[in-house]
């Protein structure tokens, strides 16, 4: 295995074109353990961390542009980003330990394509887009279009994520991400739930409810969103609406049994987390500008 | 075999080494540079025994390819003590018996130093979260947390 650290996007593209079996990485916090567990070694490990564009966080024309290789600790430390997109920051701040968060990135969390990836439900709820380098140039897709199944993405072998674009939310928007794990820190999600709500007057005008770790990919819950849109948000969301959100979230689950949680447990907890994330998002929407 | 030349700073000293590209930074620190404080516990980034500072931030050196260190500023547990004596954390760990077998201790010391470098008066909760990436199977953590609190108090007092 060779290591390469190009300083330009075109340098990465050239390496990918010339080296079948090459892989890009930022933190490699999943890739290295996979290699040690016996997965075939890439021919070339292409380090993305020396490319300025992939390591930058900028706010331009009402849009946060986050480099795909930026360590997630840079996002949780960034007060402006965290205020604009608390759910993404909350998800980013739940990935592993401080040691891991100084390495791991949104690009890696997405493209590792774990169903339990903590930043992905919030990125989808925030309508984030991924700018992808292709052999010909660049293309932009919704984050929801990237992961197609466990360990599988819609990216071609010679493609990689350059950056994420997350538009500022509309006025009176609040969001939240919650995760359930069996211990208080340092584990993989049993269920994750991201909710984003926008208020217009005293009612919900837009809603996005996204679950992680309960299906082969992160999933939106259209029935929960439909229950929320048009319902009252101030002074509070009605109990019947909350109950409908929880029921729809549980109904949207198609989880697996594993050592962290059974199908029955995940299904039940998905409803609970969707409910709690909805209440927090609503509170933030009411309190926000 | 192809070997990559890497230049970096380790505990304030300019260091050059040659490595195979797939070598972990931890293996270079231990086997090439003789800095055996950082340990390999799990090799997967779960236990934190290999914790070092990279440009002032905690990282698992087992999860870094050695060539990634090019141009970086590394601090290991060996860089904590000074000519005047032990770092206050090392002193309070000793006094407070915050270790038994000691394998995890270098990682805890480096992670605790990183915390106190940015937060001179952390709460117990902040200490426990900051050390969540470091596992200890001997102490039950309580003596570690108390020792970090004591070190913070002493460092504030000086």
- Cβ <8 Å between A45 and B21: yes
pLDDT at site A182 = 86
pLDDT at site A2 = 96
Nearest to A29 among B45, B111, B134 (CB): B45
Instruction: Please check whether residue A211 is in contact with residue A225, taking contact to mean a CB–CB distance below 8 angstroms.
Output: no
| Residue A135: burial class (beta carbons within 10 Å; 0-12, 13-18, 19+) | exposed
Backbone torsions φ then ψ of B38, nearest 5 degrees: -65, 135
Task: Report the alpha-carbon distance of residue B149 to residue B124 in Å, rounded.
Answer: 8
pLDDT at site A64 = 98
Residue of B nearest to A32 (CA): B63
Instruction: Please check whether residue B74 is in contact with residue B10, taking contact to mean a CB–CB distance below 8 angstroms.
Output: yes
pLDDT at site A288 = 81
Residues 174-193 of A with CB under 8 A from B: 185-186
Entry field: residues in chain A? 289
Instruction: Please check whether residue A213 is in contact with residue A115, taking contact to mean a CB–CB distance below 8 angstroms.
Output: yes
Contacts of A29 in chain B (CB under 8 A): 45, 60, 63
The C-alpha angle A74, A30, A44, rounded to 5 degrees, equals 100
- Cβ <8 Å between B4 and A3: yes
Task: Report the alpha-carbon distance of residue A45 to residue A51 in Å, rounded.
Answer: 15
Q: Mean pLDDT, to the nearest integer, of A49-61?
A: 98
- Cβ <8 Å between A99 and B58: yes
How distant is the Cα of A77 from the closest Cα of chain B, in angstroms? 12
- Measure the N-to-C terminal CA separation of chain B; round to a whole number of Å: 52
Which residues are within 8 A (CB) of B100 and not within 5 positions of it... i.e. 6 or more apart? B138, B139
Instruction: Please check whether residue A121 is in contact with residue A91, taking contact to mean a CB–CB distance below 8 angstroms.
Output: yes
pLDDT at site A183 = 80
- Kindly provide the ipTM of the predicted complex, given to two decimals: 0.96
Which residues are within 8 A (CB) of B48 and not within 5 positions of it... i.e. 6 or more apart? A97, A99, B41, B60, B104, B107, B108, B111, B133, B134, B135
Nearest to B58 among A27, A49, A98 (CB): A98
- Which stretch of DSSP H or E encloses residue B10? strand B4-10
Backbone torsions φ then ψ of A214, nearest 5 degrees: -120, 10
- Cβ <8 Å between B4 and A47: no
Q: How confident is the model at residue A72 (pLDDT cuts 50, 70, 90)?
A: very high
- Return the structure tokens found at A197: 């709500």
* Residues A170, A242, A240, A263, CA torsion sign: positive
User: Considering the entire predicted model, what is its pTM?
Assistant: 0.96
**Looking at the predicted structure, is the pLDDT value of residue A225 above 70?**
yes
* Residues B136, B142, B148, B151, CA torsion sign: negative
**Looking at the predicted structure, is the pLDDT value of residue A185 above 90?**
no
CA atoms within 13 A on the CB side of B142: 1
| Residue B3: burial class (beta carbons within 10 Å; 0-12, 13-18, 19+) | exposed
Q: What is the pLDDT of residues B18-30, one digit of tens each?
A: 999 999 999 999 9
**Looking at the predicted structure, is the pLDDT value of residue A279 above 80?**
yes
Instruction: Please check whether residue A132 is in contact with residue A162, taking contact to mean a CB–CB distance below 8 angstroms.
Output: yes
How distant is the Cα of A246 from the closest Cα of chain B, in angstroms? 30
pLDDT at site B58 = 98
- Return the structure tokens found at A95: 């990935």
Other Cβ atoms closer than 10 A to B158? 5
The tens-digit pLDDT sequence of chain B (158 residues) is 789 999 999 999 999 999 999 999 999 999 999 999 999 999 999 999 999 999 999 999 999 999 999 999 999 999 999 999 999 999 999 999 999 999 999 999 999 999 999 999 999 999 999 999 999 999 999 999 999 999 999 999 86
pLDDT at site B2 = 85
Percent of chain A clearing pLDDT 70 (strictly above):
100
**Looking at the predicted structure, is the pLDDT value of residue A223 above 80?**
yes
- Return the structure tokens found at B138: 């001997």
pLDDT at site A186 = 80
Question: Does A2 lie at the interface with B, CB-CB under 8 angstroms?
Answer: yes
Q: What is the pLDDT of residues A120-142, one digit of tens each?
A: 999 999 999 999 999 989 999 99
Task: Report the alpha-carbon distance of residue A179 to residue A172 in Å, rounded.
Answer: 24
SS3 A44: strand
How distant is the Cα of B86 from the closest Cα of chain A, in angstroms? 24
Residues 222-281 of A with CB under 8 A from B: none
Task: Report the alpha-carbon distance of residue A100 to residue A189 in Å, rounded.
Answer: 16
Question: Does B48 lie at the interface with A, CB-CB under 8 angstroms?
Answer: yes
Question: Does B68 lie at the interface with A, CB-CB under 8 angstroms?
Answer: yes
Q: What is the pLDDT of residues A13-45, one digit of tens each?
A: 999 999 999 999 999 999 999 999 999 999 999
- Return the structure tokens found at A148: 């197609």
- Measuring CA to CA, how many Å separate B102 from each of A164, B24, B38, B53, B127? 42, 22, 11, 19, 19
Q: What is the DSSP string of A114-170?
A: -TT-SSHHHHHHTT-EEEEE-SSSEEEEEGGGTEEETTEES--TT-EEEEEEEEPPP
The C-alpha angle A17, A22, A23, rounded to 5 degrees, equals 115
Instruction: Please check whether residue B16 is in contact with residue B36, taking contact to mean a CB–CB distance below 8 angstroms.
Output: no
- Cβ <8 Å between B130 and A98: yes
Task: Report the alpha-carbon distance of residue A50 to residue A55 in Å, rounded.
Answer: 8
**Candidates B3, B8, B55, B57, partner chain A, best to mutate (most A CBs within 10 A):** B57
Which one is predicted more confidently, A187 or A159? A159
pLDDT at site B158 = 64
């Amino acid at each position: 295995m060779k290591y390469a650290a190009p300083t330009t996007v075109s340098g990465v593209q050239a390496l990918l074109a010339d080296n079948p079996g090459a892989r890009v990485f930022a933190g490699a916090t999943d890739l290295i353990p996979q290699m040690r567990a016996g997965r075939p070694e890439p021919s070339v490990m292409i380090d993305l961390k020396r490319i300025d564009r992939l390591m930058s966080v900028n706010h331009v024309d009402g849009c946060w542009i986050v480099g795909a290789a930026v360590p997630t600790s840079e996002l949780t430390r960034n007060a402006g980003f965290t205020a604009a997109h608390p759910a993404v920051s909350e998800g980013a701040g739940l990935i592993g330990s401080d040691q891991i968060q100084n390495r791991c990135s949104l690009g890696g969390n997405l493209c590792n394509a774990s169903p339990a990836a903590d930043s992905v439900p919030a990125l989808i709820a925030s309508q984030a887009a991924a700018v992808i380098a292709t052999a010909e140039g660049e293309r932009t897709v919704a984050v929801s279009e990237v992961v197609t199944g466990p360990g599988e993405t819609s990216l071609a072998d010679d493609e990689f994520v350059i950056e994420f674009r997350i538009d500022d939310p509309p006025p009176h928007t609040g969001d939240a991400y919650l995760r359930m794990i069996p211990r208080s820190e340092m584990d993989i999600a049993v269920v994750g739930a991201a909710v984003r709500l926008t208020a217009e007057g005293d009612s919900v005008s837009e809603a996005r409810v996204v679950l992680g770790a309960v299906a082969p990919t992160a999933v939106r819950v259209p029935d929960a969103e439909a229950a929320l849109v048009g319902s009252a948000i101030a002074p509070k969301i009605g109990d019947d609406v909350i109950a409908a959100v929880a029921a729809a979230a549980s109904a949207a689950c198609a989880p697996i049994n594993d050592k962290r949680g059974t199908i029955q447990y995940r299904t039940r907890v998905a409803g609970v987390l969707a409910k709690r994330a909805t209440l927090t998002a609503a509170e933030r929407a009411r309190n926000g500008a | 075999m192809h070997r990559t030349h890497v230049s970096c700073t380790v505990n304030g000293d300019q260091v050059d080494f040659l490595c195979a590209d797939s070598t972990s930074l931890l293996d270079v620190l231990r086997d090439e540079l003789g800095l055996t404080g950082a340990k390999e516990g799990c090799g997967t980034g779960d236990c934190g025994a290999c914790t070092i500072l990279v440009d002032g931030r905690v990282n698992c050196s087992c999860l870094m390819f050695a060539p990634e260190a090019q141009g970086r500023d590394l601090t290991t547990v060996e860089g904590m003590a000074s000519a005047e004596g032990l770092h206050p954390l090392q002193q309070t760990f000793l006094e407070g018996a915050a270790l038994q077998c000691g394998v995890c201790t270098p990682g805890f010391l480096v992670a605790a130093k990183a915390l106190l470098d940015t937060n001179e008066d952390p709460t117990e909760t902040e200490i426990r979260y900051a050390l969540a990436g470091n596992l200890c199977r001997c102490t039950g953590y309580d003596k570690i947390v108390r020792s970090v609190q004591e070190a913070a108090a002493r460092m504030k007092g000086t």
